[in-house]
Amino acid sequence: MTFILFVIQAIAPIVPYVVIAGAAGMIYGYLQGFFLAWVGALVGACILFWLSKSVARDFFIDHLKDKYDFDLKNVDDTHVFWILLLSRIFPIVPTVLINVGSGISGVSNTIFISSSALGKLPWAIVYVALGDYFMKSHDITGTLIVIGAIFLVSYICMRLLRQRMPFRHR
């Protein structure tokens, strides 16, 4: 059942991933919780990727080529891999948009799966470990300091990355 929750969360993220992954760490412990969180999120991402690829890809590619004279088939796969990997590690763009955007833009299965699998690792490790640590720890102050430090470092990294992006959010 927990695995299905992760798959559903990746397709329709009603509950934040951090909540489900943390709960998995609390309930199942680190190793089993990590496996459920990582594989479940990856399977859900792949389902949404393949659905969008099969339903909307041809329309989207033709639209870009006709309207903007831009052919997505000329994009270098190495750049796509790194863009997707960094988008997963530094979650500036919602993961649903990454999954759908990758599908309709024609990203190869290999690039999508490999970049997603690697990019989802750090957050699955951190969130599940926090849940496991929180369940085993009797030191609430220490737990809150660890959680605060992780969120602070994440926030600083996202801010720095946004400042270096060629386009700005308004």
Q: Is residue 84 part of a domain?
A: yes
**94: domain range?**
2-137
Q: Is residue 151 part of a domain?
A: no
Q: Is residue 162 part of a domain?
A: no
Q: Are 127 and 56 in contact (CB under 8 A)?
A: no
Mean pLDDT (whole number) for 4-22? 91
pLDDT at 122 over 80: yes
Higher-confidence residue of 10 and 168: namely 10
* Percent of the chain whose predicted confidence (pLDDT) is above 70: 85
Q: Is residue 163 part of a domain?
A: no
Q: Of the candidates 42, 59, 57, 29, which has an alpha carbon nearest to the alpha carbon of residue 128?
A: 29
Q: Could you report the per-residue pLDDT of 63-98, keeping only the tens digit for each? A: 666 666 655 566 677 788 988 998 898 877 888 889
Higher-confidence residue of 11 and 105: namely 11
Q: Are 79 and 87 in contact (CB under 8 A)?
A: no
Q: Tell me the average pLDDT of the chain.
A: 84
Position 170 scores a pLDDT of: 44
pLDDT band at 142 (very low <50, low <70, confident <90, very high): confident
Position 68 scores a pLDDT of: 61
pLDDT at 1 over 50: yes
Domains in the chain, number = 1
Dist CA 89 CA 86 (whole Å): 5
Position 118 scores a pLDDT of: 96
Q: Of the candidates 76, 70, 9, 20, which has an alpha carbon nearest to the alpha carbon of residue 45?
A: 9
pLDDT at 7 over 60: yes
Whole-structure pTM value:
0.76
Q: Is residue 93 part of a domain?
A: yes
Q: Is residue 90 part of a domain?
A: yes
Mean pLDDT (whole number) for 100-117? 91
Q: Is residue 56 part of a domain?
A: yes
Phi-psi domain of 106 (left: phi exceeds 0; alpha: psi -120 through 50; beta: other): left
Dist CA 5 CA 20 (whole Å): 8
What the block records as the tokens of 15 is 């509950």
Q: Is residue 157 part of a domain?
A: no
